[in-house]
Amino acid sequence: MADLVVVVNARTGVAVMTRNEIVNIFFGRYRQFFNGIEAQPVDLVDANPDRARFYSALVGKDLSDVNAYWSRQVFSGRMQAPPRVNTVDEVLRWVSTHPGGIGFVDLSKADARVRVVYEFNP
């Protein structure tokens, strides 16, 4: 099983993040990085197995819990869930083309367009 990592746009100026910061960005509680750049998270579709692995490793929740959280947020009008893409290649493209892009990929897929800011312990 490959190692999941969190990546940001290589030009954000963010070198490392804590698990708590990542949780807060992916659950819409933080809208900016520490340096003031707007965070623009991207998520994978449910059909991609990395999505379940990511949320399990990040917050110990399964996809039904994560989807229920976002349904409540959207219904209440508080916020919108991050956009979802189908593949890791699309995550890399999103992160590299959005100044505040942040997403998750297998470590082996991370390239020069992105910077790894968090690695999950196996």
Q: Is 68 exposed, middle or buried (0-12, 13-18, 19+ CB in 10 A)?
A: exposed
pLDDT tens readout for residues 13-26: 999 999 999 999 99
CATH number at residue 53: 3.40.190.10
pLDDT for 45 equals 96
Q: Is the pLDDT of residue 1 over 90?
A: no
C-alpha closest to that of 27 among 66, 84, 83: 66
pLDDT of residue 9: 97
Provide the domain limits for residue 89: 4-119
pLDDT, one tens digit per residue, over 67-81 is 999 999 999 988 999
Phi, psi of 33 (to 5 degrees): -75, 170
Q: CA 5, CA 92: separation in Å to the nearest integer?
A: 12
Domain count for the chain, please give it: 1
Task: Tell me the whole-structure pTM to 2 decimals.
Answer: 0.93
